[in-house]
Amino acid sequence: NAGVMQNPRHLVRRRGQEARLRCSPMKGHSHVYWYRQLPEEGLKFMVYLQKENIIDESGMPKERFSAEFPKEGPSILRIQQVVRGDSAAYFCASSPDRTLYNEQFFGPGTRLTVL
């Protein structure tokens, strides 16, 4: 029973390039959340998606960042024209189809380094 999978685990980009981060939720989970963790800081919510729908993107920067969770395939977090301040660990979490409580399970994260 595989957990949440993320790839790549490490990603290095130069300023101005694009970064694509992928997340496959646990089997049976249709809710995906993306969090960002800056060095020495806590986890901050970015976006919550269900299949083909963005439910809440209140934590995502308005420019350069986008997320999707297509009907088939993993969820993608896309960062265009990366800057040094985007260097962080990006974690994806998933939760089961709607239950009373929001128990989220995290993937191993993608560590993005912008040179």
Q: How many CB atoms lie within 10 A of CB 97?
A: 9
Q: Which residues contact 94 (CB under 8 A, 6 or more apart)?
A: 4, 23, 25, 26, 29, 31, 32, 33, 104, 105, 107
Q: Kindly indicate which of the ranges 10-18, 22-30, 76-84, 99-107 contains the residues binding another protein, using the contact rule CB under 8 A.
A: 99-107
Applying the rule CB under 8 A, the residues between 14 and 53 that interact with another protein are 31, 33, 35, 41-45, 48
Shortest spacing between CB 13 and another protein, in angstroms:
21
Q: Kindly indicate which of the ranges 11-19, 20-28, 74-82, 101-109 contains the residues binding another protein, using the contact rule CB under 8 A.
A: 101-109
